[in-house]
Amino acid sequence: MLIHISFCLWEGGDEGVKKGSLKTLVRVQDLTPEKADQLIWLRARVHTSRAKGKQCFLVLRQQQFNVQALVAVGDRASKQMVKFAANITKESIVDVEALVRKVEQKIESCSQQDVELHIERIFVISQAEPRLPLQLEDAVRADGEGEEEGRATVNQDTRLDNRVIDLRTTTSQAIFRLQSGVCQLFRDTLTKKGFVEIQTPKIISAASEGGANVFTVSYFKTSAYLAQSPQLYKQMCICADFDKVFCVGPVFRAEDSNTHRHLTEFVGLDIEMAFNYHYHEVIDSITDTMVQIFKGLRDNFQTEIQTVNKQFPSEPFKFLEPTLRLEFTEAVAMLREAGVEMGDEDDLSTPNEKLLGRLVKEKYDTDFYVLDKYPLAVRPFYTMPDPSNPKYSNSYDMFMRGEEILSGAQRIHDAQLLTERALHHQIDLEKIKAYIDSFRYGAPPHGGGGIGLERVCMLYLGLHNVRQTSMFPRDPKRLTP
C-alpha cells in the first residue's frame, strides 16, 4: 500500500481510535537486537535518503536517536514504492511498518548500530518543503572540521533565523535537555532545603535598580517598566515571613550590549533567604545549590554533555567542595602580581575577570569560585556595607570558567539606612516607597543572589555564546523568531 496521508490524523483519527485498530508505535531508542524479526510501527523524521538501484536507504530520526531503514524491490515492496520512498523530502515525518533485522556489521553512523529496518509500508504524515534553509549535518559539524574538509558549517544568524530546524540537531537537543535539568536541580535542591517557590510580577511601576537599562511598557493610560530582576519582590517576601524563597523567571535588561554573554531577556534563577548570624550562611546555601547542580549534571546528563562536546570540545567542568571563597582584595593582589594595574575600589573588567579565572584555575584547580567583599561603590544601593570597613560591602559574585554567573549580597534590612543609601545613589525615594516601607514593620537580616540560567549552561558546557543556550534569544538586534 502506498498512500500519502498527511492529514489522516484528524480526518480519520476518531474512527481509528474507536475501532481500536491503531498500531502501537515503538521509539527509535528501543530498536535493539531484542526486537529482531518483529514487525513494528514507527513514526520518525526522514533524516537522510539515498536511492541506489532497486533499493532506497533511509535514516529515520527521533530527537537524538536514529536508525537505518531500507526499502528494497521484492516480495513486500514494489518498484513504485521504492521510488516513492526515494522522493520523500528530508525532515518529512513518516509512519513505517517494518521488520527489525540484526546487522552483521555495526552501523557506525546511527545511534542504533545493531539493527536496521526493512520497510514494508510507508506513509507520509507531514511533508517537508524540498529546500531546507539549513542542513542538519552541517549544523552539527564541529568548528574547523568543515573548513578543513571543504564542507559547510552554519553561521549563527542562519541558525537563529531558522531556529526550529537548528533546535533539531543532536547538539541543540542535548543543550536544552540539560538546561531543563539545571532548572529542576535548582528547584529540587532548594525545596529540600525548605525554600518556598514564589512568583513575582514582571510589570512594575518603578525601575527596580535605578533608572538605567530598563524597558518601558505602555500600561493603559500610564507607563510601566519590565523588571530588571525580582530583587525588590523577593526581599518583600522575606519581610512577609516566607523565610527562604526562590523564583525562576524572565528578567529584562535594556542594555545595548552586543557581546557573547549579554541578552536583553534571560532566565533568572533567584534566591533570597533570612539568615541567623552571618551572611556567609547565604553564600553557603547558594554554593551548595550550585554544587548539587554540577553533580546532578555530571551524574545524570553525561550523554548530553558528551553530545555537545563532540561538536564543541571542552575540558570537564571542575569544582571543589567546599566551594573556594576568595576576598576581593586577594583577587586584586593576584591580578597585580600578574601585571594588572588597578585601584583598590575599581570593579573587575571583563578581561580581568577572565584572567583571574585562569589564575584561580592554575592555583586551586577549580572552575567555580566565589569572590566576596566587593567595594561598596560598585554595588547597588541596597547592598549592606561591610561593618568593619565601610569601603567594602557584604557582597559577592560567583564565577564559572572565569565569567560571572551570579551577583549577590547581604541586603540592608533597615528602612533608615536603606533611605540613606538610596539618596546617596540619587534614587527617587518616591518611586521605591513601597519597597522601603516593607522594612518598617520588622525585617530579618537577609541576603541572596541572582543566577543567569543561560550563562550557567553555556559555561558548564564550555560554549562560547549565550545565544546557544537560549532557545529564542533576544538581543538589541534580534526579536525573532
Is 253 catalytic? The answer is yes
Using the rule CB under 8 A, give the single segment among 284-292, 316-324, 359-367, 381-389 that binds a copy of itself: 381-389
Shorter beta-carbon distance to a copy of itself: residue 25 or 429: 25
Q: Whole-angstrom distance between the N-terminal and C-terminal Cα of the chain?
A: 39
Any idea what DSSP says for residue 471?
S
The reply on whether position 219 binds a copy of itself by CB under 8 A is yes
The reply on whether position 163 binds a copy of itself by CB under 8 A is yes
Q: By CB under 8 A, what part of segment 297-336 binds a copy of itself? A: none
- Whose cell is 554540577? That residue is 294
CB of 72 to a copy of itself, least distance (A): 24
Q: What does the alpha-carbon distance between residue 290 and residue 325 come to, in Å, rounded to a whole number?
A: 14
The reply on whether position 382 binds a copy of itself by CB under 8 A is no
Would you call 53 helix, strand, or coil by DSSP?
A: coil
The reply on whether position 388 binds a copy of itself by CB under 8 A is yes
Q: What does the alpha-carbon distance between residue 43 and residue 62 come to, in Å, rounded to a whole number?
A: 8
From the candidates 43, 45, 61, 261, which is the catalytic residue? Answer: 261
Q: By CB under 8 A, what part of segment 73-112 binds a copy of itself? A: 91-93
In order of 152, 244, 296, the CA distances from 197 in angstroms are 46, 9, 20
The reply on whether position 176 binds a copy of itself by CB under 8 A is yes
At 13, list the grid cell: 483519527
Is 180 catalytic? The answer is no
In degrees, rounded to 5, the angle at the alpha carbon of residue 198 between the alpha carbons of residues 193 and 202 is: 145
CB of 65 to a copy of itself, least distance (A): 11
* Closest CA relative to residue 253, chosen from 296, 212, 222, 305: 212
The reply on whether position 429 binds a copy of itself by CB under 8 A is no
Shorter beta-carbon distance to a copy of itself: residue 352 or 393: 393
Shorter beta-carbon distance to a copy of itself: residue 190 or 286: 190
Shorter beta-carbon distance to a copy of itself: residue 184 or 306: 184
Using the rule CB under 8 A, give the single segment among 122-130, 144-152, 292-300, 319-327 that binds a copy of itself: 122-130
Neighbour-count burial of 24, counting CB atoms closer than 10 A to its CB (0-12 exposed, 13-18 middle, 19+ buried): exposed
Of residues 112, 323, 394, 407, which one binds a copy of itself by CB under 8 A? 394
* Closest CA relative to residue 238, chosen from 24, 447, 74: 447
> How many residues make contact with a copy of itself (CB under 8 A)?
107
Using the rule CB under 8 A, give the single segment among 151-159, 203-211, 283-291, 333-341 that binds a copy of itself: 203-211
**Contacts of residue 66, Cβ cutoff 8 Å, sequence gap at least 6:** 28, 44, 47, 59, 60, 110, 111, 112
Is the CB of residue 246 less than 8 Å from the CB of residue 271?
yes
Beta-carbon count within 10 A of 407 CB: 18
Is 61 catalytic? The answer is no
Q: By CB under 8 A, what part of segment 41-80 binds a copy of itself? A: 43, 45, 62-63
From the candidates 304, 353, 404, 454, which is the catalytic residue? Answer: 404
Shorter beta-carbon distance to a copy of itself: residue 318 or 433: 433
Of residues 311, 435, 460, 462, which one binds a copy of itself by CB under 8 A? 435
Is 464 catalytic? The answer is no
Of residues 1, 144, 148, 218, which one binds a copy of itself by CB under 8 A? 218
The reply on whether position 222 binds a copy of itself by CB under 8 A is yes
Beta-carbon count within 10 A of 257 CB: 12
Of residues 32, 38, 78, 180, which one binds a copy of itself by CB under 8 A? 180
Using the rule CB under 8 A, give the single segment among 11-19, 68-76, 287-295, 312-320 that binds a copy of itself: 11-19
Shorter beta-carbon distance to a copy of itself: residue 33 or 481: 481
Q: By CB under 8 A, what part of segment 251-290 binds a copy of itself? A: 252, 254, 256, 264-265, 267, 276-280
**Contacts of residue 283, Cβ cutoff 8 Å, sequence gap at least 6:** 325, 370, 372, 396, 408
- Whose cell is 509512519? That residue is 95
Q: Is the dihedral of CA 167, 171, 175, 181 positive or negative?
A: positive
Output phi, psi for 49, to 5 deg: -150, 135
The reply on whether position 375 binds a copy of itself by CB under 8 A is no
Any idea what DSSP says for residue 475?
B
Beta-carbon count within 10 A of 7 CB: 11
Residue type, 245: V
Of residues 36, 99, 103, 224, which one binds a copy of itself by CB under 8 A? 224
Question: Which residues are tagged catalytic?
Answer: 253, 255, 261-262, 404, 407, 455
